[in-house]
Structure 1
Amino acid sequence: MSIEAAAKPRQKVNPLLKLVLEMGPLVLFFIANYKPELFKPLVERFMAPALFEGSSGNIFTATAIFIPATLVALIAGYVLTRHIPVMPLVSGIFVLVFGVLTLWLQDKTFIKLKPTIVNTLFGLILLGGLAFGKPLIRIVLDAAFDLKPEGWRKLTLNWGLFFLFLAVLNEIVWRNFSDNFWTNFKVFGTMPITLIFAATQVPILMKYEVKPDSPDGNAQEGS
Structure 2
Amino acid sequence: MTKTINPILKQVLELGPTLAFFLIYLRIKDDTYTFAGTDYSGFIVAALVFVPILLVAMTILWVLTGKLSRMQVFTAFMVIFFGGLTAYFNDERFFKMKTTIVYGAMAGLLGIGLLRGQSYLQFVMEEFLPMQRAGWMIFTKRLAFIFVVLAIANEIIWRTQSTETWVKLETFAFPAVLFLFLWVQIIGLQKYLIEDPQQSKD
TM-score (normalizing by structure 1): 0.82
Corresponding residue for residue 69 of structure 1: 53
SS at match of 2:131: coil
The unaligned stretches of length 5 or more in structure 1 are 1-8
Question: For the residues of structure 2 that align with 1:31 and 1:81, how far apart are their CA atoms?
Answer: 27
Residues 134-192 of structure 1: CA deviation (Å, up to 9, x unaligned): 20113455861211110111111111111111100100110001111100111121121
Q: Which of the residues 126, 138, 144 maps onto 1:154?
A: 138
Identity of aligned residues (%): 29
Distance 1:110 1:93 in 2: 14
Corresponding position of 1:123: 107
**Does the Cα contact within 8 Å between 2:130 and 2:200 map onto a contact in 1?**
no
Indicate if the aligned counterparts of 2:62 and 2:68 stay in contact, CA closer than 8 A: yes
**Cα distance in 2, alignment partners of residues 136 and 181 from structure 1:** 33
Residue 49 of structure 1 and its aligned partner are, at CA, apart by 6.8
SS of the residue 1:211 aligns to: coil
Quote the Cα distance in structure 1 between the aligned partners of 2:63 and 2:79: 20
Q: 1:185 aligns with which of 151, 169, 178?
A: 169
**For residue 194 of structure 2, what is the aligned residue in structure 1?**
210
Consecutive unaligned residues of structure 2, counting only runs of 5 or more, are none
| 3-state secondary structure, aligned to 1:51 | strand
Report the alpha carbon displacement of residue 111 of structure 1 after superposing the two structures with TM. Answer: 0.2
**TM score, norm. by length of structure 2:** 0.89
Matches within 5 A, 1:15-30: 15-30=7-22
**Contact 1:87–1:141 at 8 Å: present in 2 too?**
no
- The one-letter code sitting in structure 2 at the alignment partner of 1:209 is L
Q: Structure 1 residues 206, 170: CA separation in 2 closer, same or farther (over 3 Å shift)? A: same
Paired residue for 1:5? none
- Structure 1 residues 211, 152: closer, same or farther in 2, change over 3 A? same
Query: What is the deviation of 1:76?
Result: 1.4
Q: Does the 8 Å contact 1:51/1:60 carry over to 2?
A: no
CA–CA distance in structure 2, aligned partners of residues 185 and 178 of structure 1:
11
Cα distance, 1:115 vs structure 2: 0.4
Aligned residue among 39, 52, 60 for 1:51: 39
1:13 and 1:210, CA in 2 relative to 1: closer, same or farther beyond 3 A? same
Residue 5 of structure 2 corresponds to which residue in structure 1? 13
Residue type of the partner of 2:94?
F
Q: Secondary structure of 1:114's match?
A: helix
Q: Does 1:169 align with 2:150?
A: no
Following TM superposition, the consecutive aligned residue runs of length 4 or more in structure 1 with deviations greater than 6 angstroms are none
Among 25, 29, 33, which residue is 1:33 paired with? 25
For 1:107 and 1:139, the matched residues in 2 are separated by 37
Q: Is the 8 A contact 2:83 2:95 kept in 1?
A: yes
Give the distance between the partners of 2:47 and 2:186, measured in 1 at CA. 35
Q: How many angstroms apart in 2 are the aligned matches of 1:220 and 1:197?
A: 22
After superposition, where does 1:88-127 map in structure 2 within 5 Å?
A: 88-127=72-111
Q: Distance in 2 between matches of 1:139 and 1:99?
A: 30
